[in-house]
A and B are shown apart, each in its own frame.
Chain A
Amino acid sequence: MNFEVIFFLIVAASAIASAILMITQQNPIKGVLFLIVNFFCLALIYLILHAQFIAIIQILVYAGAIMVLFLFVIMLLNLGDETKLEDKLSYKKTIAYLLSGVVLLEILIGLGLPFGVNTMPTNPKALEIGTVEFIGKSLYTEYLLPFEITSILLLAAIVGVIVLAKKKFQ
């Protein structure tokens, strides 16, 4: 085993561990913190795959901005013990278990586990695809239309939020 594989195993194990810890925490603030740890592990996995830009955006946008808002909202709401919020309806739980089982099965089939482990070869061009220059170029040439449509959607969302917030205050 070379260094890269060992590093990947450590990071992947901590990603799974932090994900499990996130959903089992009683305290929502601690849950948010474990989600941040999980994002960091994901960023490291992207780095192993030479996707530097995605890795840093993962930290910049998710850990740096979105999770701060999560933390902020949870702090201000000051949610107490989560047990009070527990769902009493049992059929919901049954469906949830069923669905998660189906998703697990899908992932396993996708990985090809029943037919032996499928090790996908890394794209030989991965090193150049991951750079900021490459992503910028393809965003503004090849994928210009989807990119512009996404930005218009985001703009519409921003305007919508402002309109909604203003209505509440007046």
Chain B
Amino acid sequence: MELLITVIKIVAVMGVMLGCVAYVVLLERRLSAAIQNRIGPNRVGWQGLLQPIADVVKLIMKEDIVPTKANRFLHDLAPLISIGVAMTTFAIIPFGNRISLFGYDIKLQIADVNIGILYILALTSLGVYGLTLSGWSSNSKYPLLGCIRSSAQMISYELSMGVSIIGIIMMTESLKLDKIVEMQAGWHWNIILQPIGFITFLVASFAETNRLPFDLPEAEPELVAGFHTEYSGMKFGLFYLAEYSNMFVASALITTLYLGGWQVPFVHSLGLSDFWISIVQVFGFFVKIVLMVAFFIIIRWTIPRFRYDQLMNLGWKFMLPIAILNVLITGLVILLI
């Protein structure tokens, strides 16, 4: 029975996530249009709500083109690595408290592992393979430039990402994500307790997801489309999906670590039954993620792209020292209190 519940949880989370990611693409297009004073896609379905389905059908129907001198095997493998890494990260993110359904007490988290956050860091560090291999296997100039940039960028920012989480781990005294969420009950959100860590983590996750202002691996004005220039059809679609899944997972992670996770303040004072409290909390988590995704999109149209040396200087000479300073301050405060 345990196994069946886990399988149901995996299928449900994957389904919801894929659906959400498809609509994040639509949200991005509509929001960008609104920011640029355009209308955006609104023809397919009411207000363009069926646009994601049309996009996917189009991508599947397209021809798959592989450059003549490309390494066929690696060219096929790279998008699979990207999407695989993006999808498996969600496995340990708790999306709600316990819920009792049909007499079973179900924990709303797929896997509760002892190593917690380290699992997420390990997976993000693997994400770089998808980009690197795609750039190299295409055997073409611009993808190679994109892949070289991506490797350097992701390795540099992984470090400050890891260090900025240490503050939270010190406060929670656990690596488990459900413990971290439990700590943030009420208004004890880590964004208030760890403001420096929040900022460094946020910037690092922009860099890890290759979103503007850090989208140097695919910078369209300089590198055509960067690492995925030589991809077409559904293989390009997988990279596209991976980018938006990464953004979705990064938002979920920021919410879990800094914005209280599934905690909704004052929900216990509404006088609801336990079942409905759990439902409200899952919904609250979802709303927080969507707001975070919208923040990612708005930033895209607000801040211009960094130059490559600026990116490296920011990562190594500014972000990392600040993140380490945050660890020191947190340690000092914990010692004094």
Contacts and interface: CB of A to CB of B under 8 A. Distances in A.
A122 B5 CA distance: 31
B119 interface: yes
A68 B151 contact: yes
Interface string B125-152: 1101100110010000000100110010
A75 interface: yes
Interface residues of A, number: 21
Contact of B119 (A29, A56, A71): A56
A55 B114 CA distance: 12
B121 interface: yes
A60 B122 contact: yes
A65 B125 contact: yes
A68 B136 contact: no
A60 B155 contact: no
A30 B133 CA distance: 11
Contact of A60 (B71, B73, B121): B121
A63 B77 CA distance: 17
Interface in B106-131: 113-115, 118-119, 121-122, 125-126, 128-129
Contacts of A75: 132, 136, 144, 147
B175 interface: yes
A71 B122 contact: no
Interface residues of B, number: 24
Interface in A1-53: 29-30, 33, 36, 52-53
A130 B113 CA distance: 13
Contacts of B119: 56
A72 B151 contact: yes
Interface in A111-170: 131-132
B136 A52 contact: no
A12 to B, nearest CB: 22
A129 B222 CA distance: 51
Interface string A54-68: 011101100111001
B74 interface: yes
Contact of B128 (A53, A55, A68): A68
B118 A71 contact: no
B175 A59 contact: no
A131 B114 contact: yes
B155 A63 contact: no
A138 B147 CA distance: 40
A64 B119 CA distance: 12
Contacts of A72: 132, 148, 151
Contact of A64 (B71, B74, B122, B148): B122
Nearest to B77: A33
Interface string B50-78: 00000000000000000000010110000
Nearest to A55: B115
A151 to B, nearest CB: 14
B126 A59 contact: yes
23 contacts: A29-B136, A30-B73, A52-B114, A56-B115, A56-B119, A57-B118, A60-B118, A60-B121, A60-B122, A60-B125, A63-B126, A64-B125, A64-B158, A68-B151, A71-B129, A71-B133, A72-B132, A72-B148, A75-B132, A76-B148, A131-B114, A132-B114, A132-B115
Per CB-CB distance, the 3 closest pairs between chain A and chain B, nearest first, are A64-B125, A60-B122, A59-B122
Given A68-B128, A132-B175, 17 more contacts: A30-B73, A36-B129, A53-B115, A53-B118, A55-B115, A59-B122, A59-B125, A59-B126, A60-B118, A63-B122, A63-B125, A64-B125, A64-B158, A71-B133, A75-B132, A132-B114, A132-B118
